Amino acid sequence: GLKIVTIGGGSSYSPELIEGFIKRSETLPVRELWLVDIEAGKEKLDIITDLAKRMVRRVNANIEIHSTLNRREALKNADFVTTQFRVGQLDARKKDEIIPAKYGILGQETNGPGGMFKALRTIPVLIDIIHDCQELCPDAWIISFTNPAGLNAEAVLRYTGWKKFIGLCNSPTVIVHRIGRLMNLDPKQLRVDFAGLNHMVFGLHTYYQGQDISKQVIDALAAYNDGKTYEERFDTLPYTPAFLHELNCIPSPYLRYYFYKDIMLQHAIKEAENGCCRAQVVKRIEQELFANYADPALDVKPKELEQRGGAYYSDAACSLIDSIYNDRGDIQVVNTLNNGGCASFAADEVVEISSVITKEGPRPITVGRLPDQVEGLCRHIKSFEKLTAKAAIEGNRETALFALTMNPLVQDEALAKALLEELMEAHREYLPQF
């Protein structure tokens, strides 16, 4: 049987993961699931652990649930390690979102200055985890959901010798489901070939039962009308028909932070003025969720989890583990070394790309160059990611300043300097390398 270790086990997403393993128990013999957290997350971890045990008991699944604050104890002989932790918890995210807004800049937890500082806090922890794995479970696969998922994978694959590391995001799955709904097509029969970077990924071609329907998909996205203005659609589809037709591929939802940055910024500033931000909203959702999870009568994943952005995460993580373990050779979207998949990137750069998944891991499909419409932006962000990874590993402030200066949401050295200093100070306790 398999031993799975989940780092950040107290996350509200854990019940999805457990549901995913239960659903696959016929083909994926998970025997032990170890949920790992830290002292600050103990209360959440305990609630999740009890719920997990009830979920397993309900269906009589043969999965032992363990929970611990001792990561090394958990990692011994693990087969798969998943990560879903948040260094500094939601208070750190709040700073990532609120502080840049004061400077008239979008913070955002995965793009821009927010994403950069999330990476600077996260990468040292990932490096420690890799060291533990090298010693305690050298053959394990690490499947990492922790954001910024692509940038973190870039740091690990470039700067450590560890090869079996895959970054994972739910948004490609969300996109496929959205297209299915929009066009009234079964999402399972849809194949979208994705390439680009995490949160900057593009659906280049779409096939339905083998037929190329790429043009129809763009038309359907452009025709989308829910009665709202584009400004009001900031959290769904703010793209105009003209923009979509010229773009001519399916945009990541995160494209809105670059091409509709004023709408997004005004929204962030308005929230910040009211002392609010997405981190605060998530805190409230979490409080309700955990009150719910603690109910001893609850023994399934509650529907309310869908209010969180990570929907379909368990499907992505469990499918990936299933395909590696069972050597399936199906196609899934992952963050991995490009190795010739997309001609816009070097072999040793991490990309988010549709890949064939076997027991050897992901092998990117061949997609050629990205279209002119998006290639430049993707290259730009790749440079930002590589410089941020370098700064995070070396603890180099000058490199960090340069990375922040060139971020498409900043692009001004004086502004970057002031912002960097304030964020460095605000996050000091989680930035041991600086």
169 scored as a contact of Mn ion (CB under 5 A): yes
What's the closest the beta carbon of residue 284 comes to ligand G6P, in angstroms?
A: 11
Q: Are 198 and 335 in contact (CB under 8 A)?
A: yes
Could you tell me how many residues of this chain bind ligand NAD (CB under 6 A)? 30
Residue span binding Mn ion (CB under 5 A) among the ranges 126-134, 155-163, 168-176, 374-382 = 168-176
Map residue 401 onto helix, strand or coil: helix
Residues that bind ligand G6P (CB under 6 A): 110, 147, 169-171, 278, 282, 308-310
Nearest distance in Å: CB 170, Mn ion: 6
Cβ distance to ligand NAD smaller for residue 36 or 195: 36
Nearest distance from residue 203's CB to ligand G6P, in Å?
Answer: 15
Angle at 397 between CA 396 and CA 400, to 5 degrees: 90
Question: What is the closest distance, in whole angstroms, from the C-beta atom of residue 12 to ligand NAD in the complex?
Answer: 5
| In the complex, minimum distance from the CB of residue 121 to ligand NAD, in angstroms, rounded to a whole number | 9
Tokens found for residue 411: 């692009």
User: Any residues with CB less than 8 A from the CB of 231 and at least 6 apart, and which?
Assistant: 238, 263
Of 173 and 355, CB closest to ligand G6P = 173
> Does residue number 11 form part of the binding site for ligand NAD (CB under 6 A)?
yes
Q: Which of 187, 309, 395, 408 binds ligand NAD (CB under 6 A)?
A: 309
Q: How far apart are the first and last CA of the chain?
A: 42
**208 is an interface residue for ligand NAD by CB under 6 A:** no
**Binding of ligand NAD by 194 (CB under 6 A):** no
Nearer to ligand G6P among residue 110 and residue 388 (C-beta): 110
Catalytic residues: 254
The residues that bridge with 3 in the sheet, in sequence order, are: 32
Three-state DSSP class for 339?
coil
Q: How far is the CB of 38 from ligand NAD (least distance, A)?
A: 5
Q: Encode burial over 296-329: b for 16+ CB neighbours within 10 A, e otherwise.
A: eebeebeeebeebebbbbbbbbbbbbbbbbeebe
Name residues contacting ligand NAD, limited to 124-183 (CB under 6 A). 125, 145-147, 149, 168-171
From the list ligand NAD, Mn ion, ligand G6P, none, which binds 278 (C-beta under 5 to 8 Å, kind-based)? Answer: ligand G6P
For the record, the structure tokens of 26 come out as 């016929």
Task: Tell whether residue 90 is a contact of ligand NAD (CB under 6 A).
Answer: yes
Does position 255 bind Mn ion by CB under 5 A? no
Helical packing angle, 42-58 and 278-293, nearest 10°: 50
Residue type, position 212, single letter:
D
> Quick check: bond before 364 cis, omega within 30?
no
The answer to whether 204 and 351 have CB atoms below 8 angstroms apart is no
Q: Which stretch binds Mn ion (CB under 5 A): 136-144, 166-174, 212-220, 298-306?
A: 166-174
Residue choice 3, 20, 28, 37 for contact with ligand NAD (CB under 6 A): 37
Is residue 67 a contact residue for ligand NAD (CB under 6 A)? no
433 is a contact residue toward ligand NAD (CB under 6 A)? no
Of the pair 147, 338, the CB lying nearest ligand G6P is at 147
Cβ closer to ligand NAD: 108 or 170? 170
Shorter beta-carbon distance to ligand G6P: residue 302 or 309? 309
Rounded Cα distance between 409 and 232, Å, is: 21
Buried b (16+ CB within 10 A) or exposed e, 33-45: bbbbbbeebeebb
Q: Which does 89 bind (CB under 5 to 8 A by kind): Mn ion, ligand NAD, ligand G6P, none?
A: ligand NAD
The residue written with tokens 């769904």 in the block is 236
Distance (Å) of CA 402 to CA 68, 278, 384, 415, 420: 40, 27, 9, 12, 10
Q: Does residue 330 contact residue 363 with C-beta atoms inside 8 Å?
A: no
Q: By CB under 6 A, is residue 389 in contact with ligand NAD? A: no
3-state secondary structure 162-197: CCCEEECCCHHHHHHHHHHHHHCCCHHHEEEEEEEE
Smallest separation, CB 364 to ligand NAD (Å)? 18
Q: Which residues bind ligand NAD (CB under 6 A)?
A: 7-8, 10-13, 36-38, 40-41, 44, 84-87, 89-90, 125, 145-147, 149, 168-171, 309-310, 313
Positions that interact with Mn ion (CB under 5 A): 169, 171
